Chains A and B, each alone.
Chain A
Amino acid sequence: MFGMKKIRKINKSNDSSAKTEAKHIKIPSSKVEFIEKLKEITHSPADLMIKEISDTITIIYVDFLIDVNTLNEQILPTLEKTDCATPRIIKESLLVAEVDLGSELNKCVLEMLIGAVLIHVEGNSELVIAKISAYQTRSLTTPENESQVIGSQIGFNESLATNISLIRRYITNPNLSNEKYVIGKETNTSLSVLYIKGIASEEYVNTVRQRIIDLDVSDILDSAILTELIDDNSLTIFPQMLLTERPDRFCDGLLSGKVGIVVNGSSMAILCPYTFFEFFQSREDQNLRWPIATFLRLLRFSAILISIFFTPIYVATLTFHYEVIPQPLLVPLSESRAIVPFPPIIEALFLELIIELLREAGARLPTKVGQTIGIVGGIVLGTAAVQAGITSNILIIIIALCALSAFTTPNYVMGNVIRILRFPIIFLAGFWGFYGIMFAFCLLIIHLLRQSSLGAPYLQPFYPPRWKDMADSVIRLPLPFINRQPILTSRKVNDKASNNNSSNEEKMKQS
């Protein structure tokens, strides 16, 4: 990742000088000159279509990027009718929604590459830009990675326009602001910053705006890269912004005052600021009855602890602290460990590694082969390892439990973190027993306390304690008790939080 960043920066410095030179190219008024110039800039690609409608009018577009029907039915007939006209007249007579006049060649070329038809009229140094872009997009499908039983079954796709229209279907509100940015020197990726005016705190919106404007990168191919670039701390293992493919989760975030970013070409939208505990919530929790949702959340949180600390505790106990185990439990433990030739730490690392390999293989393989992995891993490796006397039965149970617990994390990125965290702790447990585990625990807590997301404390609402927001954090209380606008996101620069809160609520009611 660091290497990539460096390369990007070097690229940037090289081409920035070239670009400033080529910035202000006037459009030649003569047809031949114009076409030559255009070909020179675009290096005459094979899909560049140049059509001469009449002696004076030429249209240029990139094949497959535009809607051919509109071109045939709207633009071509109009152009044929209006012979020897100026660009201004053509612009007015075209029955296309988005028509513009351009006088700068570079900008026009960019528009063409997004999906516009350029119309050149002999003797004029202005171009008509008719934006009739049409791209091939995947149809809307169910979100594969964030599936849920109850709730809407629609996910984002890769088109920015489709995604924003999806969001607008959920939130019909004139206050839903949409700010457009284009970043990436090589890719010119467009992205939208979405938030609801009056609910989202200006402070956070400004931070996001500033961080995006300050970005100096050559390319953004996915929103996941953007999250790492605009994070508070990109060195930490913990994600500080949510990537979601669910429009309902995204809108839920916007309505509770978060700032959202949608990147063109990526089916994952970004929500920020996001806190540690929110990563373990599922959108479905809101749709279930509250006691069940609370139970599931508590289950997930205990799963984190199990998944991080269970194997290390096993290692520590069997290496140093035999006396902690009661006698009835000690007998089966020592029986199953009696034939194992390795110390517990090697045994545990070996099995953990197998589980990780299985998971990685399962993720990379085509789905059809994936099932074999389960059989190979579960039955062949597991049973055989025990029978061969390489590991103990009890450890297999513990490792499986840890793996299972890690998979309950609703967020994939956070799930990865929880799984990987275990490894250094196993080492510490193997060397210094419970003391090592406790050392890791303290380090982890201090680390989490030090993190922030857009400047907001990462462990909110647990620390700093916000009792009102606890209603929807580790537990979920009935909906009337839940404050739709957590203090986290409605926090203002000065201490007038309560005032602003009430005014925001009024706005919400009005809208």
Chain B
Amino acid sequence: MKSLLQISNDQKFNAPLLFFVVVTSQIAVGIQGFQRLIVKDATHDAWISILLSFLFSHFIVYVMFKTLEIYSTNDLFGIQLDLFGKYLGHLINFSYVIYVSFAFFVVLKNYTEIITTWVFPNLSQVFISGTLLILVIYSFTGGLRVIIGVCFISVVSTIWMLLLLLFPLEYAHYNHLLPVLSNDLVSILKGAYSMTFTIVGFEVVNILYPFVKDKNKAQKYVHFGLFFTCFVYVFVMIVTIVYFSNEQLEKTIWALLTLFSIIKLPFIERIEIIVICFWLIIILPNLCLFSWSAYRGIVRIKNIKGTTFIWIFTILIFFVSLPVQSRHDINRINNIFSKIAFYVVFIYPLFLYIMASTKKILKKWVKSS
């Protein structure tokens, strides 16, 4: 296979770090406002929708790894080149790069919007995206080791935020959760479908896979990561449901931030302002991972240096982000993104697996006959 990757041991990282990669890549801007979208369909059974969506994610990860194992040391881009040939393969690779860049853009835009709505109404969005892109450039040029490091530190340094959610429980009405399963399956599934925007991100494993040191352990840690984010999402959802009434929730765009804003400590109030600024370190690894995935795809098409790539990439993103300013635009972009993401993350891997395994069987058959 021509598309094989040569990766030195220095560039590789240990499998347990995949746990942190998956957790950070899933938790980004979606978690701040996903409650409203899901509750709209599934009402107080929204947590079941989340469980279902994660169940499906586990299955997708399983399929993803089956596909990757057929090619042992290759990433998604290499597999696509092998399956679809040179021209179609490059075309699909490029469209995947576009998808990843779109994800990058969505995260960037949503975060700048939150900052301008909650913390600095007058701060220019250009400035915020500029500073974010500087951070991305700085960590990207450090190499994959640094990017994974940012993921790791991001999880470790933000885990305390979960404890903050215990405060709203003081005002909880647990009967909001009852009766369990009062909605029909369709509306619950609809809720699960709405989770797409929040749950995607773990597809970077497709591209990171060749860089994992002990590959047979990799899948285990990805599943662990999914379990952890599942716990986080279900926990957040339950707190939201018991705290808000349905009508309130419909009017709350960022339910999580509203939950934070009622916390009062003897020395701090309005914790959500600190939390939003702290959120920078939660979205940073996402931006790094997405830009890095885009780079891996571009390198297959044209061999350019990482530094050149990241400058071109960030400058492009910067200019594209200029015209998108209002809540309305961003909402529309989010909707488009989640529609695309659903097919890319949840449907496409199945198709790819069928293609790859048929090819494998065909090869065997050709050889034997």
Contact = CB atoms under 8 A, between A and B. Distances in A.
**Chain B CB within 10 A, most for which of A432, A435, A495:** A435
A492 B266 CA distance: 51
A321 B261 CA distance: 14
B131 interface: yes
A42 B185 CA distance: 98
Given A325-B269, A439-B135, A465-B16, A449 B146 contact: yes
B149 interface: yes
Given A464-B14, A465-B16, A435 B115 contact: yes
Given A324-B273, A442-B135, A329 B267 contact: yes
Contact of B266 (A323, A326, A435, A438): A326
Interface string A317-345: 00011011110010000000000000000
B16 A450 contact: no
Interface in B1-58: 9, 13-14, 16-17
Contacts of A459: 149
Contact of A446 (B115, B139, B268): B139
**Chain B CB within 10 A, most for which of A434, A442, A446, A459:** A446
Contact of B273 (A321, A326, A450): A321
**Chain A CB within 10 A, most for which of B115, B145, B273:** B273
A443 interface: yes
B117 to A, nearest CB: 13
A463 interface: yes
A256 B296 CA distance: 39
A104 B269 CA distance: 80
A435 B267 contact: no
Interface string B117-153: 0011001000010010001001100100110011011
Given A442-B135, A464-B13, A326 B119 contact: no
A495 B14 CA distance: 12
Nearest to A452: B145
Contact of A434 (B13, B119, B269): B119
A262 interface: no
Contacts of B153: 445, 449, 463
Interface residues of B, number: 36
Interface in B268-282: 268-271, 273-274, 277-278, 280-281
Contact of B135 (A433, A446, A463, A464): A446
B345 interface: no
Contact of B142 (A432, A450, A463): A450
B68 interface: no
B20 to A, nearest CB: 9
A443 B284 CA distance: 11
Contacts of B264: 326
Interface string A424-467: 00000000111101110111011101100000010100011100
Contacts of A446: 135, 138-139, 142, 146, 150
Given A434-B277, A443-B135, A450 B270 contact: no
Contacts of B135: 439, 442-443, 446
Given A326-B268, A446-B135, A437 B146 contact: no
- Provide the main secondary structure of the chain A interface: helix
Interface string A300-331: 00000000000000000000110111100100
A290 B193 CA distance: 52
Interface string A261-274: 00000000000000
B139 A438 contact: no
B277 A449 contact: no
Given A435-B115, A435-B119, A449-B142, A441 B281 contact: yes
Contact of B269 (A324, A432, A465, A495): A324
Contacts of A433: 119-120, 277
Nearest to A321: B273
Contacts of B16: 465
Contacts of A321: 119, 270, 273
Contacts of B274: 324, 434
A495 B119 CA distance: 49
Contacts of A435: 115, 119-120, 123, 128, 131, 277, 280
Nearest to B275: A434
B233 to A, nearest CB: 24
B118 to A, nearest CB: 11
B121 to A, nearest CB: 11
Contacts of B284: 442
Nearest to B265: A326
Interface of B: 9, 13-14, 16-17, 115, 119-120, 123, 128, 131, 135, 138-139, 142, 145-146, 149-150, 152-153, 264-271, 273-274, 277-278, 280-281, 284
28 contacts: A321-B119, A324-B269, A324-B270, A326-B266, A326-B269, A329-B267, A432-B123, A433-B120, A434-B119, A435-B115, A435-B120, A435-B128, A435-B131, A435-B280, A439-B280, A442-B280, A445-B150, A446-B146, A446-B150, A449-B145, A449-B150, A457-B145, A463-B152, A464-B13, A464-B14, A464-B17, A465-B16, A465-B17
Given A323-B269, A463-B149, A463-B152, 7 more contacts: A324-B269, A324-B271, A326-B266, A433-B120, A435-B123, A445-B150, A450-B146
